[in-house]
Structures are given as C-alpha cells and as structure tokens.
C-alpha cells in the first residue's frame, strides 16, 4: 500500500523536527503511460530515507540521489524520465511514457 499525502507530509515534518535535511519530489507532468499520476509525492531525507512514490519504483533511486543534491545545494531541480514502449520492460517499466518530477528542499 502506498503512503498517503498526509503520511508523506507528516514524515517530512518529523524528519525536519529531528534536524534532518528534507526534500519533496512531486510528479508535475506526465506523457503517455505513467505509473503514478500528477501530484504524486516522494519525501526524502539527507540520509537517503524516503516515503511515497513518484514512479512505482522504477526511478525512485535516481530521484533520491538528486534530492540529496537538492538538500545540499538548496536549489530545486526538475527531472525528466522516459522510456519508449518497446524498451519499457527491459528497465522495469510495464509501459512506455515520460514523467517530469520537481524536487525542492523543505525548510
């Protein structure tokens, strides 16, 4: 079961109160088939812990890595991930499509 928005925001708040750096990744646009809809979130702390999903698991590792950079720099990033239908299964996606994810530091 995926974490709900309230759970994700609560985790972000708890991690900030604990003194951790925190970033929030949000799906802002999709094209074609996408595993998670616009508005889906992933919260990440500076230790690489995360909660939520922006892709059903297929690009979370890359988003976590970029989020740690965002936490360190304080500069938001927009990431884009995509795959053609014919190669989707090879990279662990059930379908082709593209997602755009906005990653921002939470203060």
Predicted local confidence at residue 1, as pLDDT? 40
Q: Which residue has the higher pLDDT, 4 or 75?
A: 75
Total-model pTM = 0.85
Mean pLDDT of 39-60: 90
Structure tokens at 90: 């090879």
For 11, phi then psi, to 5°, come to -60, -45
Q: Give the pLDDT band (50/70/90) at residue 40.
A: very high
Enumerate the domain spans of the chain.
5-106
- Report pLDDT digits (tens) over 19-38: 999 999 999 999 887 788 99
> In whole angstroms, what is the distance from residue 47 CA to residue 44 CA?
8
Segment 89-97 long-range contacts (CB within 8 Å, at least 24 positions apart):
91/58, 92/57, 92/58, 93/35, 93/58, 94/33, 94/35, 95/32, 95/33, 95/35, 96/32, 96/33, 97/30, 97/31, 97/32, 97/33, 97/34, 97/35
């Amino acid at each position: 079961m995926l974490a709900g928005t309230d759970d994700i925001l609560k985790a972000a708040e708890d991690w900030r109160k604990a003194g951790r750096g925190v970033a929030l990744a949000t799906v802002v646009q999709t094209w074609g088939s996408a595993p998670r809809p616009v508005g889906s979130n992933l919260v990440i702390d500076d230790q690489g812990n995360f909660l939520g999903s922006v892709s059903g698991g297929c690009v979370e590792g890359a988003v976590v890595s970029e989020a740690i950079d965002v936490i360190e720099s304080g500069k938001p990033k927009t990431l884009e991930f995509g795959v053609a239908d014919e190669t989707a299964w090879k990279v662990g996606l059930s379908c082709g499509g593209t997602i755009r994810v906005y990653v921002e530091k939470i203060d």
